[in-house]
Structure 1
Amino acid sequence: MINPHSLSGFNLYPSVDEQEINQVETDMGLKFPRVFRELLKLTNGFETEEGVLIFGTDIISERNQTYEVSEYAPGYIAIGSNGGGQFYLMPANEDSIELIQVDTGVMNPQFASLVSDSFIHWINDGAIKSIC
């Protein structure tokens, strides 16, 4: 479970409800990981002082379309950026918890670096920007 106190140092956005999350999933034709849905219900994305950006429902579809994530990383969803030309990806299924990082110019999970084996732990530990 995401600890809401761990988000206190982030620039947060107003949370969204189940209906909005479901609509974005339908529009994108995929399912968000439950842990990502949990975050959206607390904050519709966030930014850290380090430049980490987690996408909210207002921009996630556009970013995934613009960077053609479904073509170059089928089965994945870009859920954020490290602010340095890399996207954070998660497998696009409800049980996913792993967070990886890929260069936006390559966008191939084969060349990804593991950020965390647990998205929730990564959030609760401060969403520290990975240097990969």
Structure 2
Amino acid sequence: MVNNKLINEYEINYGMRIPNLYKDFLKVNDGFSFDGGKILYSLNDLKEMNDNLQIHKYQPDYIAIGDDGGGLVFLMKQEANAEVVFLVDMSDYEIETAYKKISNFNEWFNRGCNIDTEENEKNNKLSKIGSVYLTKKPVNGIKDLAIIKQIFNLNIATSQLLTISKTLPCELLTNIKYVKAIKLIEKTGQPEIFEFRLNK
């Protein structure tokens, strides 16, 4: 049976900080499996799964507490008072572009760790993949194109970008998440000259 002593020894031995909410969960359940493949890791599984997922490499301030068995990993901040759970894509572990942000672990667990809810459907576009198009000419011409090239990290010469931009709309980024695309577009200072189009 998991108790405070075992958890404290585990944290010291493996250099991990387990949030208090998850400690309380472990002392009662020590892991949990749901229908459909979702799982919350037991104390003994935490180290192995975090190593396998390389969380320490990509998100060293976070700890993986579970996954959905289909590409989403559940992360919590390695802080005693952490409550938020981030459902992140296993391909990049990006917190800013998390598929979903759960405000409180306990409430989420009591609801069966539901991932797709009516509320989430409204925000589902955030996880969609699409392309960014330049639909209008930038205000300062080639000067702005050079800035766009840098912000978008485009692997083409500015002169080539100028040529492409003469035929609008022109596709600049492909297979990019909506939320990431919007952040890049906003950095240009001219969001009105771009358009995000979802992949069909």
Q: Which TM-score band (shorter chain)?
A: 0.7 to 0.9
CA contact 2:89–2:99 (8 Å) conserved in 1? no
- Secondary structure at the aligned position of 2:35 is classed as coil
Structure 1 unaligned regions, length at least 5: 1-14
Which structure 2 residues correspond to residues 1-132 of structure 1 after superposition, within 5 A?
15-130=1-116
Q: Aligned letter for 1:57?
A: L
Q: Return 5+ residue gaps in structure 2 as ranges.
A: 121-126, 128-200
Deviations 1:99-124 (A, max 9, x none): 11112221222321334101111011
In our comparison, the structure showing a higher alpha carbon Rg is 2
Structure with larger RCO (C-alpha < 8 A, sep 6+): 1
Q: CA RMSD in A?
A: 1.6
The structure that is helix-richer by fraction is 2
- Is the 2:88–2:100 contact (alpha carbons within 8 Å) kept by the matching residues of 1? no
How far is 1:41 from its partner?
A: 0.5
Aligned pair count? 118
Contact 1:24–1:61 (CA<8 Å) still a contact in 2? no
TM-score by length of 1: 0.81
8 Å contact kept, 1:60–1:79: yes
Give the ranges of 4+ consecutive aligned residues of structure 1 lying more than 4 Å apart after TM superposition.
none
Residue equivalent to 1:9: none
